């Protein structure tokens, strides 16, 4: 089963914002979100990542995909990557007008162009027809289908990215 992937199209924190190192307490995938927690008592550079709730400010998980088991065909793809409990990973602070693409697998529900994605009760964004008064919200701009061309001895499934623009965080 394919896992979520993320594409950082235009994110302010890559240039002038904050990129955090966070320790995760659940198995996560790129494109998942969380709430920034307390600083680790043993490492001043690492924060905890907390499961978000509605109306929370969020950070986006976008860790470089490091896959160590390439013994079987197809296991080396980015859409097979997940992060394990206790791992320290990269999280990006999101600001208004940031644009990212999150694979459909990273969204809990069906995103609709012109509507919003907001924090839900878990590490995935959830669709909403209305803009919340506060907390994280991003407008769905479009869907991009990437890949899917046939290659020798294998069929590749395309990745469908839901491209969003952050409205508030």
**Does residue 86 lie within any of the structural domains?**
yes
Query: pLDDT tens-digit profile of 124-144?
Result: 999 999 999 888 999 999 998
Percent helix, strand and coil across the chain, each rounded to 5? Answer: 5, 45, 50
DSSP annotation of 153 = T
Is residue 1, in this structure, part of any structural domain at all?
Answer: no
pLDDT tens-digit map of 65-102: 776 666 655 555 666 778 889 999 999 999 999 999 99
The count of domains in the chain is 1
* Cα gap 167→145, rounded to integer Å: 23
Domain hosting 160: range is: 6-168
- Asked if residue 120 belongs to a domain, the reply is yes
For the chain, how far is it from start to end, CA to CA, in angstroms? Answer: 31
How many Å apart are CA 87 and CA 101, to the nearest integer? 23
Residue 147, pLDDT score: 76
What residues have CB less than 8 Å from 43, skipping those under 6 apart?
none
């Amino acid at each position: 089963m394919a896992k979520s992937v993320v594409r950082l199209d235009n994110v302010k924190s890559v240039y002038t914002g904050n990129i955090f190192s966070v320790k995760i307490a659940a198995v996560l995938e790129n494109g998942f979100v969380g709430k920034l927690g307390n600083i680790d008592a043993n490492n001043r550079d690492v924060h905890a990542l907390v499961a978000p709730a509605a109306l929370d400010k969020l950070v986006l998980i976008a860790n470089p995909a490091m896959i160590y088991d390439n013994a079987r065909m197809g296991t080396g793809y980015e859409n097979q990557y997940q992060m394990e409990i206790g791992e320290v990973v990269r999280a990006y602070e999101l600001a208004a007008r940031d644009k990212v693409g999150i694979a459909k697998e990273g969204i809990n529900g069906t995103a609709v162009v012109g509507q919003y994605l907001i924090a839900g009760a878990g590490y995935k964004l959830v669709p909403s027809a209305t803009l919340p008064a506060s907390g994280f919200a991003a407008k769905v701009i479009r869907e991009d289908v990437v890949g899917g061309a046939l290659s020798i001895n294998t069929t590749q499934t395309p990745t469908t990215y839901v491209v969003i623009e952050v409205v508030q965080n």
